Amino acid sequence: MTKLDAKIPEGPLKDKWTNFKNNCRLVNPANKRSIDVIVVGTGLAGGSAAASLAEMGYNVKAFCFQDSARRAHSIAAQGGINAAKNYQNDGDSTYRLFYDTVKGGDYRSREANVYRLAEVSANIIDQCVAQGVPFAREYGGLLDNRSFGGVQVQRTFYAKGQTGQQLLLGAYSALSRQVGKGKIAMYSRHEMMELVVVDGKARGIIARNLVTGEIQRHSAHAVLICSGGYGNVFYLSTNAMGSNGSAAWKIHKKGAYFANPCYNQIHPTCLPRTSEHQSKLTLMSESLRNDGRIWVPKKMEDVEAIRSGAKKPKDLPAEDRDYYLERRYPAFGNLVPRDVASRAAKERCDAGFGVNKTGEAVFLDFASAIERYGKEKALQEGEDTNNMALVRELGKEVVKAKYGNLFQMYEKITDDNPYETPMKIYPAIHYTMGGIWVDYNLMTTIPGCYALGEANFSDHGANRLGASALMQGLADGYFVIPYTIGDYLADDIRTGEIPTDTKEFDEAEKEVRDRIEKLMNNKGSKSVDSLHRRLGKIMWEYCGMARNEEGLKTAIKEIRALREEFWNDVFIPGKADGLNPELEKACRVADFMELGELMCVDALNRTESCGGHFREESQTEEGEAMRNDKDFTFVSAWEYTGDPSEAKLHKEELKYENIELKTRSYK
């Protein structure tokens, strides 16, 4: 087993990043002009990286499969972004953000990376405000904050329920400015199909123009993969329809290790699935748990009455409701971390208390918040605080100002008015903590190939806290890669342009052409979606919220059979030399069919429970996740050897020098 070198700088934790910046090699401005960088994906990580690197003087080529860089799925992030500003004077600090993130990640993330993340978090807010990002403000004109799961301070900055949109549009505007200056060549409606490795270094990609079908060669001195997570392995998730794991999977097959693929986040507050035709699941922001209380009825007869419509949830008296998060976790209540909240919902629904027809839903209730805010407002306005009709009206206004767009979204989908009746929610796949293994510099095991944002594995351990994904994406792109990439590219100042008429490009292009040809000429009988849906079912059944040895073994067997069926029987209409959404989907699903297997292999190997990875064999008597620090305080980094089940495991031991490993408790 080879040892993975994370290249963590020397020195005390709080000095590591400063030491690195003081000692890393630089590329002078004249030399930057002769260096090309490819950025795949234009979400928060890719957009911010492309903009920053272009501002520094590198020639950037940015790729996205959407029709515009502004549409990357970061845009859908709702609740907020964390930063250790301590504007609320509630005891926050860089160390506390670091500590919360490591603890929230169930002690499976890398200390040095997380500390750096906490350290640069404050700069992100300053940077975004300077760009004109309209964060929520108080009447004094200063920035407002709210609280998120797993923490006891208010450090989350937000822009209503559209924080991701506003941050992404900030990065997109910075990127657009560089496109206008000619420093970024923007390739929208293009998909990366293959990585090109020359003499062991990442030197380019093969891309497909999704409009014309043209296969293109693009060379560069470094390639950044900022393509997001792989939650769509599950078919139904909160990801966008086009979100995919292909760029990550392609570099994995070319030598980049894949770390902790089994760490998936199941978000507790999503709209429940209703039927077969469903194409995706919609998230309701975690910020709603600031004001919403989660419950199911205590008595089975009430469950049945609610399901049949004989009783309305709001008519159920408080003593007949089980606010199970408040009951089980009094210290954090409804704001426990996502993995804990999701499992608690599953536990109640498995016990038969689910409140909708499928038995897979719990209530998220705003009635008490509406009353509380209404009374405050009535008091401020000198109105009668005992006039409950008025109080509720005023309270609804406050709630609308905070979460209006989320409530509207809920009503559009379900035809229920959440101001009047509690929302019904259930956990769904949302985010993938696992991803491409990177060292401290965000470089993968392929020199010159980097992974940023959700595509890498490094900062969230086995569970990500709310409002931390936006923070990580922007930290990686705005503040980390601009330093770390120079340290590598300093060797490339004399390299000159990388030619694309070499055998490495020939071979990579041929692989792509062969793959497309095989798919197009398959003449099978099944649609891509029908096969993808079946993959999703296997994954959700055996590799979802609870996993066990037998199930995972079954899943691996079933996925392998399904993959064979896919290659034998998938049917793709149309032609490859033009816009063909079925072909695009097929290329992505083909990769999911392999990645899903590796996820199960990893889940099978990790016999402990930690964060979002819950092995039924490893739980306490109360049903809480039980870690095994003695045997599993490491990162599983898998090397591709030709078959996901034969992947070779490399371990990066995790050392905790600044935090004591404890049983995570939110009670």
Partner 1 sequence: MKLNLRIWRQDGPNDSGRLENYTVENVSPDESFLEMLDELNEKLVSEGKEPVAFDHDCREGICGMCSMFINGEAHGPDRAITTCQLHMRRFKDGDTITIEPWRAAAFPVIKDLVVDRTAFDRIIQAGGFVSVNTSGNTIDANALPINKADADNAFDAATCIGCGACVATCKNSSAMLFVSAKVSQLALLPQGKVERQERVLNMVEKMDEEGFGNCSNTGACEVECPKEISLDNIARMNREYLKASLSSEK
Residue numbers 242-261 binding partner 1 by CB under 8 A: 242
Told to check if 19 binds partner 1 by CB under 8 A, we report no
Q: Which is nearer to partner 1, 530 or 641 (CB)?
A: 530
Q: Which is nearer to partner 1, 57 or 447 (CB)?
A: 57
Beta bridge partners of 321: 297
Residue numbers 66-95 binding partner 1 by CB under 8 A: 66-71, 73, 75-76, 85, 87
Among 109, 162, 246, 458, binds partner 1 (CB under 8 A): 162
Told to check if 269 binds partner 1 by CB under 8 A, we report no
| 505 Rama sector, left if φ>0, alpha if ψ -120 to 50, beta otherwise | alpha
Min CB(240)–partner 1 separation in Å? 4
What is the sign, positive or negative, of the torsion defined by CA atoms of 310, 314, 320, 326? positive
Told to check if 407 binds partner 1 by CB under 8 A, we report no
Amino acid at 95: Y
Query: Per-residue string for binding with partner 1, 424-463, x by CB under 8 A?
Result: ----------------------------------------
SS3 353: coil
Residue numbers 181-200 binding partner 1 by CB under 8 A: 186, 188
Q: How far is CA 241 from CA 143, 190, 536, in A?
A: 34, 16, 13
Q: Which is nearer to partner 1, 378 or 406 (CB)?
A: 406
Told to check if 404 binds partner 1 by CB under 8 A, we report no
Q: Which is nearer to partner 1, 364 or 601 (CB)?
A: 364
Min CB(88)–partner 1 separation in Å? 11
Q: List all residues 6 or more positions away from 136 whose beta carbon is below 8 Å from its beta carbon.
A: 143, 144, 157, 158, 159, 160
Told to check if 467 binds partner 1 by CB under 8 A, we report no
Among 179, 303, 452, 559, binds partner 1 (CB under 8 A): 179
- Angle subtended at Cα 391 by Cα 386 and Cα 395, rounded to the nearest 5 degrees: 150
Determine whether 402 is exposed, middle or buried from the number of CB atoms within 10 Å of its CB (0-12, 13-18, 19+): buried
Listed residue (92, 26, 88, 30) closest to 57, CA to CA: 30
Neighbouring C-beta atoms of residue 322, cutoff 10 Å = 17
Among 11, 330, 496, 581, binds partner 1 (CB under 8 A): 581
Told to check if 377 binds partner 1 by CB under 8 A, we report no
What length does the chain have?
667
Min CB(113)–partner 1 separation in Å? 18
Amino acid at 336: V
Q: Which is nearer to partner 1, 371 or 529 (CB)?
A: 529
Told to check if 221 binds partner 1 by CB under 8 A, we report no
Helix 163-180 to helix 44-56 angle (10° resolution) is: 30
Size of the site for partner 1 (CB under 8 A): 82
Q: Which is nearer to partner 1, 67 or 617 (CB)?
A: 67
Q: List all residues 6 or more positions away from 351 whose beta carbon is below 8 Å from its beta carbon.
A: none
Residue numbers 505-564 binding partner 1 by CB under 8 A: 525, 527, 529-530
Min CB(621)–partner 1 separation in Å? 40
